[in-house]
Amino acid sequence: MAERELLAQCIIFNDKMKVNETIAAVYKKYYCLNDNSRCARYMVFMKLGRESVPKNLLPNMIEEVNKIPSGK
């Protein structure tokens, strides 16, 4: 499944982003392993590509997705 392949590059899933351990576990369970279509990082990735995903964007920051310029 292509969606699961994205986990190998996800900074949240791979603990490359400074996030509280407990909160990171919730993000992983809710967004990474459940329904990643609700993940703000995934939304930006699908809409604009990996290079457009802000490093500090958390999975629950849906309101920020619309603020990111599309570059088109």
Q: Tell me the per-residue pLDDT of 44-57, one tens digit each, with 9 for 90 and over.
A: 999 999 999 999 99
The answer to whether position 39 is within a domain reads yes
Tokens of 2: 């292509």
The answer to whether position 21 is within a domain reads yes
Range of the domain at 49: 2-65
- Per-residue model confidence (pLDDT) at position 1: 41
The answer to whether position 71 is within a domain reads no
| 70 and 47 Cβ atoms separated by less than 8 Å | yes
Reported as a pLDDT band with limits 50, 70 and 90, residue 4 is low
The answer to whether position 70 is within a domain reads no
| Domains identified in the chain, total number | 1
pTM, entire model: 0.85
Over residues 7-39, the pLDDT tens digits come to 888 999 999 999 999 999 999 999 999 988 999
- Per-residue model confidence (pLDDT) at position 2: 55
| 31 and 38 Cβ atoms separated by less than 8 Å | yes
